[in-house]
Amino acid sequence: MQSESANLPLPSALPLLDYEAQLYPFIAARTFATDDWIRDKSWRDTGPFILDTSYGVHPAVRIYYAPQILAWLKAERKGPIPDGAMVVKEMASPPTARYVEYQQTLEAKYPDDPAQVETEMLGFLRTIRGLNWTVMVKGSASSHGSWFFVSVGQSAAVDNIDAPFSPPSGQAGDVMCMRCHASAAEELIFSTLENIEGFPVEPLIFRADESWRDMDAFPPGPFNLPTVQRPGMGKGEAALIQDFSTTKPHLRTPMQRQRRHRRM
C-alpha cells in the first residue's frame, strides 16, 4: 500500500501557510496512523517523572514512522533519508504510566473489541490529556539540515499573521528543535528500532514514581490515590525543597541566619 504521506507536497513546494494548510489536517485527523506506518511498542516517557515533575526532553510519546523511515532504520541508518519521509511524534501529558494503565483497564473491559479500546483510548487522550503532535518532514530543498520541523494542535489551525505574532508553528531548520536534534548521530533523528513494534528488544524506559495519581477526573482508586499514598505526601518538588531548606538550620544561607538571629 502506498503511504498516505506520498500525497502531500514537499515543504519547499508551497508557500509556508499553504503547506501548513495541507499538512496540519493530515496530522490532526491521524491519517498517518494507517496500516503501512509503523509505531512505537506503546506510549513511552522521554525522561524520568518524579514528584509531579517531568524530566523528559518531550512529553509522553508514541511515535509513528513512515515506511521510508523504517527502511532507513533497517538499513542501519546509512545514507540520506529520502525526501517526503516523515516521523510523527504523538504526545500527551507525562507520564506514560497513565496511558499504559488506562489501556489495560479498557482491555479488561472490552477483551474482544480492540477497536473499542482504541476509540475510547483516543477519546481519553484527546479530551483529558491534551493530545498533540510534533512532526519532522524530510525535504532537502527546505534547509541545510533538510528537515521541516512542526508542531500541530488538535484544531489543525494554521499560522496567521495577526497580533500577538506568535513564532511560526512550522519551520525549516527550526532553531528551537535544532538545538537538540543537531546532536543526533545521523540525519538529525534519534529514532531506533528498539522502540518500534515488532522488534524484540526492550524499548527505552525511565523511572516514574506514583505522584501522577491525582487525576481529578477519576473517582478515588488506582488513578487517584489519597495524598498519604503518594510520594512526598503528594507535595510537588518545589514545595519539598522549600520545606527541607527552611526546617534544617544548617542549610540556611548566612543572610537567613542573620535575620533570624536579629529577631531573637
Residues that bind ligand HEC (CB under 6 A): 46, 57-58, 63, 87, 89, 134-136, 149-151, 174, 176-177, 179-181, 189-191, 204
Q: How far apart are CA 173 and CA 84, in angstroms?
A: 15
Which residues are CB-contacts of 141 (< 8 A; sequence separation ≥ 6)? 10, 12, 83
Minimum distance from CB of 262 to ligand HEC (Å)?
Answer: 45
Cell match 479530551: residue? 127
Q: How far apart are CA 18 and CA 156, in angstroms?
A: 13
Minimum distance from CB of 260 to ligand HEC (Å)?
Answer: 40
Closer residue to ligand HEC (CB): 190 or 223: 190
Q: How far apart are CA 11 and CA 102, in angstroms?
A: 37
Answer whether 167's CB lies under 8 Å from 187's CB.
Answer: no
Q: How far apart are CA 9 and CA 93, in angstroms?
A: 31
Closer residue to ligand HEC (CB): 26 or 213: 26
Minimum distance from CB of 186 to ligand HEC (Å)?
Answer: 10
Closer residue to ligand HEC (CB): 13 or 205: 205
Alpha carbon separation from 260 to 239, 245, 255, 263 (Å, rounded): 21, 14, 9, 5
Closer residue to ligand HEC (CB): 5 or 230: 5
Closer residue to ligand HEC (CB): 160 or 183: 183
Minimum distance from CB of 97 to ligand HEC (Å)?
Answer: 16
> Could you tell me how many residues make up the chain?
264
Minimum distance from CB of 255 to ligand HEC (Å)?
Answer: 35
- Determine the distance from the C-alpha atom of residue 122 to the mean position of all C-alpha atoms in its chain, rounded to a whole number: 15
Closer residue to ligand HEC (CB): 110 or 190: 190
Minimum distance from CB of 179 to ligand HEC (Å)?
Answer: 6
Minimum distance from CB of 14 to ligand HEC (Å)?
Answer: 19
Cell match 509531579: residue? 52
Alpha carbon separation from 25 to 14, 21, 30, 133, 231 (Å, rounded): 16, 7, 8, 12, 41
* Residue (of 161, 180, 163, 159) closest to 171 by Cα position: 159
> Could you report how far apart the first and last alpha carbons of the chain are, in Å?
79
Q: How far apart are CA 142 and CA 119, in angstroms?
A: 36
Closer residue to ligand HEC (CB): 124 or 149: 149
